[in-house]
A and B are shown apart, each in its own frame.
Chain A
Amino acid sequence: MDFDLGEQAAELRARLRALIAEHIAEDYLGAFTDDPADLDVAQRFCKTLADEGLLTVSWPAEYGGGGGSVWEQTVVREEMWAHHEPRGAQYMGLNWVGPAIMAFGSDAQKAQHLSAIAAGDVIWCQGFSEPDAGSDLAALSTKATPDGDGWRITGQKIWTSYAGMAQWCVLAARVGSGERHEGITMFLVPMDTAGITVRPIRSMLGPHHLNEVFFDDVWAGPEAVLGEVGEGWAVIRRALAHERVGIARYARCERLLSALGRELAPVWDGLPPAIPAQWARALIQVRVARLLAYRTVRAQETGEPPDVLASAARIAVTQCDQSVAELLFQAVEDGSLESGAGAPLHGAIEDHWRYAQAATVASGTIEVQRMIVSKALLGGRS
């Protein structure tokens, strides 16, 4: 047994931390705060990472990427999330849109999109969820109707992150009158196409995260179809599998617990006795979540089916996020109600709590993960 991620992973971690220390302020809370300047920081940092050859560490070398191992990809996920995702909205393009285009795209699509994503020039959003198709994504009803050599798309998407700032959307729509997975087709659509309307949804997560997107007779040419017509479910499966291990929430939890220990050091001995014990248990929970995530990555590496492991990891990671959020609040007591630079840990604790409330919903609810785990456990015996 060996839990060392290896020398290359350690070097990559050190390089990323050095770049973050140089370009990202210690109190940076991500691109989606009330201050628009924070988005500019993220956009600039993506260019910096691209210049350093680090934006596409995980991409295969044949597409201009770093050909990084699954463990180097893990390090990127951990360091970015721990430091409030300084790639801002671009991680989605890097994490799964780019790889999906590599797997399913035409030569023209690859030529058009991959270099733009790799250069840190473009923000993508994903048009999956609909008002009546959330966890049950295969119930989606946005229609793509043939029109000449292309398509007319009409429908509504919801919970679409970054829709207000994205230049492109990967859109799932249904061709024909089939049900469930039948007819689902993926389209790559510029967000400035006539007929697209974005309406932000106010939420505790702050601006840009949640939007409704309305498609009203939106034209998409034949070149917009990603993969084969009617074969979109394979693309969605790939995207969701990526998202299941995608967010290393445990890394930010651990960074905040570390910072909390330093922040409260002068008053540590005067804390309610339950707090240090809960802090220790939270560190265990973070370690366990990380190890379950690593188990999933190991399965990817060895070709073991990762689905159930990924769901187990996701249950542990998202619950960890929420219990750490609550512990941090308990530790800072009424300071938890403050936000901004004057709040405990520059507002990072308050920010974390708000984000954590969506952890067990985003990218597939914890209930769906439990269904996957229990189905495997019962082996069809239910």
Chain B
Amino acid sequence: MNPVLPDAAAEFGATAAKAFAALGGVHAARRAEEAPDVRGSEVAKALEALGIDEIDPRLDDDNLAAAAALCAEAGRVALPYPLVGVLLRGDDGPFAVVPDDRSRVDHGDLFESWRIATLDGRTGTASPAQQALGSRLGPFVADLASDGATDGPIGDVALHLTLTAWVVLGTSERAVELAVDHVTTRIQFGKPLSAFQAVQFQLADAAVAVAGLRELAHFTLWRLTVAGEAAMVDALALRVHAIDVARSVLRVCQQLHGAAGVCDEYDISVLARHVQPSLRLPCSAERAADELATAIGRDGFEGLFPHERAAP
């Protein structure tokens, strides 16, 4: 029993953190909104320098752990890049899990061809059909047009859901740190906001929620390495939980920033905007929870007691 990320992966994460800081941290996301080419130039180069081409999360547990650590660091700065998709790239380009009814992909405009899959098991290839949405919550989200169905295995779906949850984990962890920084320096009523127990308790609950998400993220990596395709249910569970935690934690952390929580001058606002595609694509938490309930009833859920139900 060892629930801790291997040292090598943790060290790789620390190296990635330095590289992302050199890009300007969250400021890289702000710059990419002004000049989207930043993604394909500076960010892609930084990732290349980190050796992203040599990481294949499908290969073994060390690769998977390194990829996860990298994704968490990317989440901490809202790295403007389709990192998970590129980590799971194939001959047809990066990989995306897309909604059932349209191939909507974050940074979909950045590559000419994508390998795509839906949660209901359809696979294919697609390419950008339109410009990115350019919206505040999905600045780089683009719809792809299908180039045809393929018979490829959909095994990467579980990996995609899991690594995306690691991005969300990084964002959530950073949000709590930003909130702690803010409430300890912002003086109101003659004392720091952190002197108020109402503030302390909200932070404690957020920190516990994020700590629980991290343990579940670690556990899910382990399940992916020992359970193969049966870990799809674990990846779905992690996705549901990551969305649930991020929604409540980001809300609290924005609230604790006061009006600054919605101002892009503050990192919390940029994080809260840029994480939205990871929370909404390929489907909502509610739809994922419905899928999960069905999957658990059919396949079970690793734990202390059985949960699969016999078919009626």
Contact = CB atoms under 8 A, between A and B. Distances in A.
Listed residue (A6, A294, A377) with the most chain B CB atoms within 10 angstroms of its CB: A377
Listed residue (A2, A3, A258, A276) with the most chain B CB atoms within 10 angstroms of its CB: A3
A269 B312 CA distance: 9
B212 A261 contact: no
Contact of B204 (A6, A286, A295, A370): A370
Contacts of B309: 261-262, 265, 268
A277 B216 contact: no
Contacts of A371: 197, 200, 204
B244 interface: yes
A251 B201 CA distance: 27
Contacts of B49: none
A291 B215 contact: yes
Contact of A381 (B192, B197, B212): B192
B70 to A, nearest CB: 16
Contacts of A3: 1, 3, 219, 222-223
Interface in B221-235: 221-223
Interface in B193-244: 194-195, 197, 200-201, 203-205, 207-208, 211-213, 215-216, 218-219, 221-223, 237, 240-241, 244
B208 A254 contact: no
B155 interface: no
Interface in A179-231: none
Interface in B253-312: 286, 289-290, 292-294, 296-297, 301, 303-307, 309-310, 312
A375 B197 CA distance: 10
**Interface range on chain A (Cβ under 8 Å from partner):** 35 or more
B212 A292 contact: yes
Listed residue (B180, B204, B211, B309) with the most chain A CB atoms within 10 angstroms of its CB: B204
A49 interface: no
B4 interface: yes
Contact of B303 (A254, A268, A273, A382): A254
A254 to B, nearest CB: 5
A316 B201 CA distance: 14
A277 B1 CA distance: 30
B174 to A, nearest CB: 14
A82 interface: yes
A370 B216 contact: no
Instruction: Give the secondary structure class of B's interface.
Output: helix
A315 B201 CA distance: 11
A315 B204 contact: yes
Interface string B148-192: 000000000000000000000000000010001000100000001
Given A288-B216, A374-B200, A312 B5 contact: no
A283 B237 CA distance: 9
B121 interface: no
B134 interface: no
Given A288-B216, A377-B207, A4 B1 contact: yes
B292 A280 contact: yes
17 contacts: A1-B3, A2-B2, A6-B1, A258-B306, A258-B307, A262-B309, A277-B292, A283-B237, A283-B301, A284-B237, A288-B213, A294-B215, A369-B204, A370-B200, A373-B207, A377-B204, A378-B200
Interface of B: 1-6, 61, 65, 176, 180, 184, 192, 194-195, 197, 200-201, 203-205, 207-208, 211-213, 215-216, 218-219, 221-223, 237, 240-241, 244, 286, 289-290, 292-294, 296-297, 301, 303-307, 309-310, 312
Nearest first, the 9 A-B pairs at minimum CB distance are A374-B200, A291-B215, A258-B305, A276-B293, A382-B194, A381-B184, A280-B293, A373-B204, A277-B289
